[in-house]
Amino acid sequence: MNIPSWLLDIEESKLFHLSVHVLLPAVTWAILIFVAYREWQARRKLAGEIRERMQVEQALQRRSRYLKALAEVNQLLLSNPGYREAYEGILRLLGLATGASRVYIFENHPGEEGKVLSSQRAEWCGPGVEPQIDNQLLQRVLLEESPCRRWLAILLQGKPVTGKIDELGQEEREFLEIQQIKSILILPMHVNGTFFGFVGFDQCDRVREWEDSEIYLLRSAAMTLCQHIERKQALEEIASQHQLLEERVKNRTAQLELANEELEAFCYTVSHDLRGPLTGIRGFSQLLLDELESSARTERDYILRVLDITDRTLQLIDDLLSLSRAARTELQRTWVDLSEMAQIIAAELQLQYPHRRVEFAIQDKVTAHGDEGLLKAVIQNLLNNSWKYTSRKSLAEISFGSSVIDGETVYHVKDNGAGFRMEYVDRLFQAFSRLHTAHEFPGTGVGLATVRRIVQRHGGRVWAEGEVEKGASFYFTLPDLS
Domains of the chain: 5-66 (no CATH), 82-210 (3.30.450.40), 332-477 (3.30.565.10)
- Is the pLDDT at 20 greater than 50? The verdict is no
On the question of pLDDT at 11 being above 60, the answer is no
Q: Which residue has better confidence, 21 or 352?
A: 352
The pLDDT, as a whole number, for residue 57 is 65
Q: What angle do CA 96, 102, 105 make, to 5 degrees?
A: 100
Query: Which residue, 432, 431, 436, 433, is CA-closest to 420?
Result: 436
CA distance 105 to 110: 17
Q: For the purposes of burial, counting CB atoms within 10 Å of the CB of 149, is it exposed (0-12), middle (13-18) or buried (19 or more)?
A: middle
CA dihedral 147, 153, 157, 158 (to 10 degrees): 0
SS3 per residue for 275-330:
HHHHHHHHHHHHHHHHHCCCCCHHHHHHHHHHHHHHHHHHHHHHHHHHHHHHHHCC
Residue-wise pLDDT for 245-301, tens only, equals 999 999 888 888 777 776 666 666 666 666 667 777 777 777 777 777 666 777 777
Q: Which residue has the higher pLDDT, 357 or 78?
A: 357
Residue-level pLDDT at 19: 43
In 30-179, beta strands by DSSP E: 102-110, 116-125, 161-164
To the nearest 5 percent, what fractions of the chain are helix, strand and coil?
Answer: 55, 20, 25
> What would the pLDDT profile of 136-189 be if each residue is shown by its tens digit?
999 999 988 899 999 999 999 999 999 999 999 999 999 999 999 999 999 999
**Predicted confidence (pLDDT) per residue in 429-441, tens digit:** 877 666 655 556 6
Lowest mean pLDDT among 110-114, 122-126, 319-323, 391-395: 319-323
Between CA 356 and CA 39 the distance in angstroms is 129
Average pLDDT, the chain: 82
Q: Which residues pair with 391 in a beta bridge?
A: none
Strand ranges across the sheet with 194-203: 116-125, 102-110, 194-203, 183-191, 161-164
CA 75/CA 66 separation, integer angstroms: 14
| Rounded Cα–Cα distance for residues 44 and 38 (Å) | 10
Alpha helices in 80-122 (DSSP H): 83-98
Torsion sign over Cα 252, 255, 261, 262: negative
The Cα 334–Cα 370 span in angstroms is 5
